[in-house]
Structure 1
Amino acid sequence: MSLLQLNELTHSYGSRKFINWKDRSKKILSNISLFLEEGTCLGLLGMSGAGKSTLGKVILGLERPQYGKVLFQGHDIYNTDKHSYQKIRRDLQAVFQDSYSSVNPRMTAEQIISEPLENFEKLTLSEQKRTVIELLERVGLSEEDLKKYPNQFSGGQLQRINIARAISLKPKLIVLDEAVSSLDMVNQTLILELLKQLKADFGLSFLFITHDIKAAYTISDRLGVLEKGELVELYDDKNQFFTSVHPVVKEMRDSMLAEYPRFRSVRRA
């Protein structure tokens, strides 16, 4: 059984034209089916407007699809009992693009990371503080950062705090929605290396949603390509992305800045 399985997901945003009451729904996702195995990372690539963020919201249980199913550990997240849903909430976490809007600016790093622990664990105050310190150190920060507020951190440091919060419950899957896109190249590289290490150490699974080909290639085991709400390509071997003749994939490759020899040779081909 796959950790995550999407079956024929279809979703539209509807609106009405009041003059003649004509339905003008816009299809955002169309008949998407895929799976993700435990301990792996599936990278989902797509340009702006491809439907990536909407798909992430549907998988996280934030936006119910009109058709299709989202199965997490065999449970339909939109049609399950209360006990199973609580387990899904614990085992399915997220890290979003904007590290600052993802946190309460009035909360300290300790309070931010403690939120899920308070909701799902029964720890004493001393146990909780010790756990938070361990999580901070695990993502490259320190006990000295406990009482700092979001505005006292750089973007890269605050994203580390978001990652610490996401891993605090030792989830099965983390959805990373453009999680490194707002960072500079140095911090992107550091965060990607951190995520790879956490994946190896904790057996985590990632759904890595991005428009950044190099970031997706760095961290992913498999790659998929979204275009106008459709899953147009899905590769079990991520290197197949660089030999695909699909016009959308070729356009994405052509738009990529070839900073490394591997990518330069692909572009010439």
Structure 2
Amino acid sequence: MSLLQVKEVNHSYHSKKIFSWRNQSNKALTDISFSIEEGTCLGLLGTSGAGKSTLGKVILGIQQPQEGQVLFQGVDIYRADKHTQQKIRRDLQVVFQDSYSSVNPRMTAERIISEPLENYEKLTRVEQRRRVIELLERVGLSENDLKKYPHQFSGGQLQRISIARAIALKPKLIVLDESVSSLDMVTQSFILELLSELKDDFGLSYLFITHDIKAAFSISDHIGVLEKGELIELYDSKDQFFSSKHPIVARMRDSILAEHPRFRSLTTRTNMV
């Protein structure tokens, strides 16, 4: 049984235009189906407006789809009882793009990471503090950072704290929603390497939502391409992606800049404009 199964999910947003009596329906997701196995990472590629954020919300239980199912460990997350939903919330965590807005600015790093532990674990203060220190060290920070507030960290450091919070309960699946896109290249590489190590060490599974092809291939076992709310392709390897003849995928490939400017073709530069 797959860890996560998304089955024929459809979702639309309705809006009413000024000077119009009819509601306008904007299709956000159309017949989305895929699965994620334990210990694997599915990279979900898509440009802005492709439906990535909506799909992330559907999987996290934030936005109920109008049609279809989301099964986590075989359980429909929108039909589960309260006890089961609580267990699902423990095993299904998320790391968002904006690390500053995803934490309470009035909470120290210790309190931010302790929050899920307080909700789900029965630890003494000493045990909890020890666990938080272990988590900080695991993401490349230290005990000296316990009492610092979010504004005292860089974006990369704060994202590491968000990751520490996400792995605190040893979840089964983490949704990474553009979690490295706002970071500089050096910090991004560090975070991606950290995520890969944590995946192996804890047997984690990831849904890595991104528009960055290089980032996706650095961590993903499989790649999906989302365009205008449709999952147009699924690939089991990098070679399959780069040999695909789908026009959307071809445009994505053309948008990848070479590492050094001298190797960037005129065609690539033109496609990036």
Scaled to the shorter chain, the TM-score interval is over 0.9
2:271 paired residue number: none
1:108 paired residue number: 108
Q: Which runs of 5+ in 2 are unaligned?
A: 269-273
Matched positions, count: 266
Offset of 1:144 from its aligned partner? 0.2
Offset of 1:16 from its aligned partner? 2.3
Offset of 1:15 from its aligned partner? 1.4
Contact 1:5–1:36 (8 Å) recurs in 2: yes
Letter in 1 for 2:244: S
1:66 paired residue number: 66
Note if 1:26 corresponds to 2:63: no
Letter in 2 for 1:23: N
* Aligned counterparts, 1:49-60, within 5 A: 49-60=49-60
2:230 paired residue number: 230
Contact 1:43–1:210 (8 Å) recurs in 2: yes
Partner-residue secondary structure (3-state), 1:170: coil
Letter in 2 for 1:24: Q
- Counterparts of 1:20 and 1:177, CA distance in 2: 35
Q: Name the stretch that deviates more: 11-20 or 165-174.
A: 11-20
Contact 1:2–1:35 (8 Å) recurs in 2: yes
Q: Percent identity?
A: 75
Letter in 1 for 2:54: T
Note if 1:3 corresponds to 2:17: no
- Counterparts of 1:20 and 1:160, CA distance in 2: 48
Q: Deviations over 1:199-244 (max 9, x none)?
A: 0000000000000000000000000000000000001223311111
Letter in 2 for 1:86: Q
Offset of 1:81 from its aligned partner? 1.2
- Counterparts of 2:253 and 2:212, CA distance in 1: 11
TM-score (norm 2): 0.94
Contact 1:91–1:172 (8 Å) recurs in 2: yes
Offset of 1:25 from its aligned partner? 1.1
Offset of 1:259 from its aligned partner? 1.4
1:254 paired residue number: 254
- Counterparts of 2:252 and 2:126, CA distance in 1: 50
Q: Deviations over 1:59-102 (max 9, x none)?
A: 00011111100000000000111121111000000000001001
2:242 paired residue number: 242
1:35 paired residue number: 35
Q: Which runs of 4+ in 1 moved over 2 A?
A: 16-21
Letter in 1 for 2:26: K
Q: Which runs of 5+ in 1 are unaligned?
A: none
